[in-house]
């Protein structure tokens, strides 16, 4: 399932999001930071999340202050 990262809330943790993306996707630091920077610039970025991990990923995204949609 795809989740679209579409903004941030007050208290957004950009380092936390970069680490989260790296840990969950296996992307390089540069690629994960690129996604974080795009979100900071107001771009919407779709990420693929396996269905069994969806609720856990949503919880993790909420914990770092990312706005998302499906």
Query: For the domain that residue 62 is a member of, what is the CATH number?
Result: 3.30.1390.10
Instruction: Please give the pLDDT value at position 7.
Output: 95
Instruction: Please give the pLDDT value at position 13.
Output: 96
Instruction: Please give the pLDDT value at position 3.
Output: 95
Return the SS3 of 26.
coil
Residues ≥6 apart with Cβ < 8 Å to 38: 45
pLDDT digits (tens, 9 = 90+) for 13-44: 999 999 999 999 889 999 999 999 999 999 99
Asked whether 63 and 12 are in contact (CB, 8 A), the reply is: no
**What domain count does the chain have?**
1
Q: Stretch 52-65: mean pLDDT, rounded?
A: 95
Instruction: Please give the pLDDT value at position 17.
Output: 97
Domain encompassing residue 61: 2-69
């Amino acid at each position: 399932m795809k989740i679209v990262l579409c903004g941030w809330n007050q208290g957004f943790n950009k380092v936390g999001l970069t680490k989260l993306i790296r840990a969950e996707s296996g992307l390089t630091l540069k690629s994960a930071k690129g996604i974080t920077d795009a979100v900071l610039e107001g771009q919407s970025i779709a990420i693929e999340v396996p269905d069994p991990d969806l609720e856990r990923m949503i919880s993790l995204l909420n914990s770092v202050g990312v706005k998302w949609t499906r």
